[in-house]
Amino acid sequence: MILRERPSGLKLFLLLRGSIMPRISRVLLFNIVLATAVTFSHGVLFHFKVTLTAIPFTLIGLPLAIFLGFRNTAAYDRFWEARKLWGELMLRSRNLARQCLHLVDPPPAGQPDLRQRMVRRAVAFCHALRVALRGSTDTSAIQAMLSPEEWQDIAPRSNLPAALMMHMGADLAACRRQGLIDSPLAAQIDDTLCAMTAAAASCERISSTPVPFSYTLLLHRTAYIYCFLLPFGLVDTIGIMTPLVVGVVAYTFFGLDALGDEIEEPFGTAPNDLPLDALCRIIEIQMLEALGETRLPAPLQPVDYCLL
Question: Above 70 in pLDDT, residue 9?
Answer: no
Distance CA(37)–CA(14), nearest Å, equals: 26
172's CB contacts (< 8 A; 6+ apart) are 118, 181, 186, 189, 190, 193
CA distance 308 to 303: 9
Q: Produce one character per residue of 130-143: b if its CB has 16 or more CB atoms within 10 Å, e if not.
A: bbbbbeeeebebbe
The more confidently predicted of residues 100 and 15 is: 100
**1, pLDDT greater than 80:** no
Residue 206 clears pLDDT 90, i.e. is over it: yes
Q: What is the pLDDT of residue 106?
A: 87
Do residues 296 and 285 touch, judged by C-beta distance below 8 A? yes
pLDDT band at 219 (very low <50, low <70, confident <90, very high): confident
How far is 306 from 2, CA to CA, in rounded Å? Answer: 5
Boundaries of every domain in the chain: 11-290
CB count in 10 Å sphere of residue 204: 17
Asked if 308 and 2 touch (Cβ cutoff 8 Å), the reply is no
Residues in a beta bridge with 48: 45
pLDDT reading at 199 higher than 90: yes
pTM over 0.85: yes
**DSSP string of 131-148, one letter each residue:** HHHHT----HHHHHTS-H
**How far are the Cα atoms of 85, 96, 129 from residue 201, in angstroms, in the given order?**
10, 18, 10
Q: Among 44-58, 69-83, 137-151, 251-265, whose mean pLDDT is lowest? A: 44-58
Q: What pLDDT was estimated at residue 17?
A: 64
Helix/strand/coil for 51? coil
Whole-number Å distance between alpha carbons of 53 and 76: 35
pLDDT of the residue at 43: 65
Give per-residue pLDDT as tens, 225-256: 988 988 888 888 888 888 999 899 998 888 88
Task: Count other Cβ atoms within 10 Å, centred on residue 73.
Answer: 10
Which pLDDT does position 127 carry in this prediction?
94
CB 305 within 8 A of CB 297: no
pLDDT of the residue at 195: 95
Q: Percent of the chain at pLDDT above 70? A: 91
Q: What is the DSSP letter of 20?
A: S
pLDDT of residue 29: 92
Residue 111 confidence class, pLDDT cut points 50, 70, 90: confident
Lowest mean per-residue pLDDT among 63-77, 159-173, 193-207: 63-77
Q: Tell whether the model's pLDDT for residue 69 goes beyond 90.
A: no
Q: What DSSP element (H or E) covers 80?
A: helix 54-103
